Structure 1
Amino acid sequence: MKKSLIALAILGSVAGVAQAQSSVTLYGLADVWVGRQKIDFPGVGSTSVTGVNSGGLATSRFGLQGTEDLGGGLKAIFKLEQGFNADTGTAQVGGTAFERQSWVGLEGGFGTVQFGNIWSAFDDVYAIGNSVFDSLAFSPSYGTLSVAAYVDKPRNGMRYTSPSFGGVSFAVSHSLDEVAGVSNDQTDFNVQYAGGPLTVAFAYQLLNDAVAVGTDAKAMYLTGSYDFGVAVLKGGVGQTRNFFDTKTKDWQIGADFPLSSALTLSTGYARSKDEPTDFKRTAFSVGALYTLSKRTATYAGFKRQKGEDAAGTTTARVTTFGVGLQHKF
């Protein structure tokens, strides 16, 4: 009997150590907004839709993430994450289980390596200069800047993220197309600095043979933000080539204004111009975010986009406005 009690005590102790060295966490967020979008085609007509939508501020999602301490400062890590439409209860991308992320990796003093369905290194820094809370529905960059069409999840990926060296860090990712005789691989790189009130970053993306064999698509983006205390100034400049069979130059600027510990107002402007067609896209946005708790927030936004041809004639106007609620768990 004593031997059995000792054995049980030892097993219980070992189980406790194992539990302390590894963990799995369930997390996610649900984001729903109610709004209206109107599209005007001057001289032709207009259409409008009012609806309950998912992901006004950020994509609704749930996931599992975990870590295991391997000793010597080395950890095994993984993440499985699926996006969903909170307004309908369907998967964000039909027929998928973990469309947003599904990877395994190692983390230590050398940095982090990951393998699987990972975010591209370009995606790390794109949101830094986005005003109106990087809102999918209301930030002026989305649907306006060509660089916003970068590939965020190339699949079949490998990635390395460095530790911070005095505020400077970098990341590189590479994705394989896995098709014989084709070279549609994707390579991304970013370098960023974060220190005090300043954050600045540069990102580059290369899509091999994206348009045709021997014709690559490229995206470059320089972005940053500076916190003045009374306001946070944000912006970015970028360029794409062959993303839409053309060369496009982009820029945006905006600012966040914290009015209290709970309420922040934000506004921004974005502009994009294609070459050699001289077709232009512009957008103006304004939004408000009110934090109810550490996990729950409400928001409202307004966005006006416009397209113009080389003669300066407006070809289309898109107006979007709405209010939303987001809860994290």
Structure 2
Amino acid sequence: MKKSLIALAVLGSVAGIAHAQSTVTLYGIADVYVGSKKSGLNTKRTTVVDSGGFNGSRFGLTGSEDLGGGLKAVFKLEQGFNIDTGTQSVAGSAFGRQAYVGLAGGFGTVTFGNVWSSMDDVIGAGNGAFDAGAFAPLYSMSGSVHNTYVDRPRNAIKYASPSFGGLSGSFTYGMDENSAASQDVVDFQVGYAAGPVGVSLAYQVANNVTDTKRTLLNGSYDLGVAKLLATYGQVKTGAAKSTDAQFGVDLPLSSALTLSGSYAQTKDNAFLGDGKRTGFGIAAKYALSKRTFSYAGLVNVDTKNGAGTKTDKYNLYAVGMQHSF
């Protein structure tokens, strides 16, 4: 009897140690907004209740296990959803946003599966309007790097380095798993963040019949009273080329309220008809607690052809709320 009790005590102790060395966390974001939008020159405005005005709504599980010697096993399973309808944001997928397992240590982190691309790691670093999907103008411009890059290459291997005095980077290789054609996605990013300065460079190649190459350069400088933001990007597919530029500023008005805005434009080359898109976005964020904030904003984008004639228009203004858990 005593031996059984001792054995049970030892097993309970071991189980407690194993549990202490492993962690699993449930987390998520619920983001919804009410807005009015107009898409097209001769269309009527539409009132909408929509999901993900600031960040995409999602839930997920993430965790790690200490393997000893500074090495950890890591995993993440994340699903996006539309809070306005309750549907999946990536139809037909169980964990369409992220699904990976990997190893992390002093060398950095290596992950395998459905991961965010390296370009996605830094694409919003220089965006005004909080890089919010609804209000950052570059997301509303066709041909923009922000609107056409491969965010999740899938079937991917990704390496992310640790920070070396503020310098870090990552590399991603997404395999097409198709022996008949090469349609792999390869990209990398390097960035520096120390004190008030932030700079990042990303490059992506998506192989297809004509390779699509994307280059992105972001920068920011925090003055304390304001944070200055800038982005330059380029998309090339064969002879076709589009170029982005964006300038923005974040203005903290109080401990709870911040205002952010940006002006952006995208230009097509002669092969694409010399088209031009210009837009601006403004957003305000008010913290209600550590995990909940309200927001409001607007975005406007005008499209003109090479002759300077307006061919399209997009406009949205909205108010919303986000809660994280």
Task: Tell me the TM-score range normalised by the shorter chain.
Answer: over 0.9
Residue 308 of structure 2 is aligned to residue 312 of structure 1: yes
Count the aligned residue pairs: 321
Letter in 1 for 2:283: G
Residue 183 of structure 2 is aligned to residue 189 of structure 1: no
How far apart, in 2, do the equivalents of 1:180 and 1:270 lie?
Answer: 40
How far apart, in 2, do the equivalents of 1:255 and 1:23 lie?
Answer: 38
The residue that corresponds to 1:147 in the other structure is 145
How far apart, in 1, do the equivalents of 2:182 and 2:312 lie?
Answer: 37
1:40 offset after TM fit, Å? 4.2
Letter in 1 for 2:28: G
Which of 292, 297, 302 does residue 296 from structure 1 map onto?
A: 292
1:206 offset after TM fit, Å? 0.3
The residue that corresponds to 1:175 in the other structure is 174
Give the secondary structure class of the aligned counterpart of 1:129: coil
Deviations 1:143-201 (A, max 9, x none): 22610110000110001111111110111000110112210001001000010011100
How far apart, in 2, do the equivalents of 1:292 and 1:326 lie?
Answer: 10
1:156-167 equivalences in 2 (<5 Å): 156-167=155-166
RMSD: 1.1
Letter in 1 for 2:324: K
Query: What TM-score, normalized by structure 1, do the two folds share?
Result: 0.96
Letter in 2 for 1:232: K
- Kept in 1, the 8 Å contact 2:90–2:97? The answer is no
Q: Which runs of 5+ in 1 are unaligned?
A: none
Which of 58, 61, 67 does residue 70 from structure 1 map onto?
A: 67
Give the secondary structure class of the aligned counterpart of 1:106: strand
1:218 offset after TM fit, Å? 0.3
Letter in 1 for 2:232: V
Give the secondary structure class of the aligned counterpart of 1:94: coil
1:75 offset after TM fit, Å? 0.1
Deviations 1:247-282 (A, max 9, x none): 011100000000011000011001000011210011
The residue that corresponds to 2:100 in the other structure is 103
Give the secondary structure class of the aligned counterpart of 1:141: helix
Residue 56 of structure 2 is aligned to residue 83 of structure 1: no
Deviations 1:287-314 (A, max 9, x none): 1000111110100001111001112111
Q: Which runs of 4+ in 1 moved over 4 A?
A: none
Deviations 1:52-90 (A, max 9, x none): 000000100000001000000000000000000000111
Which of 279, 282, 285 does residue 278 from structure 2 map onto?
A: 282
Residue 117 of structure 2 is aligned to residue 123 of structure 1: no
Q: Which runs of 5+ in 2 are unaligned?
A: none
How far apart, in 1, do the equivalents of 2:279 and 2:268 lie?
Answer: 15
How far apart, in 2, do the equivalents of 1:248 and 1:12 lie?
Answer: 62
The residue that corresponds to 1:13 in the other structure is 13
Which segment drifts farther, 304-313 or 110-119? 304-313
The residue that corresponds to 2:3 in the other structure is 3
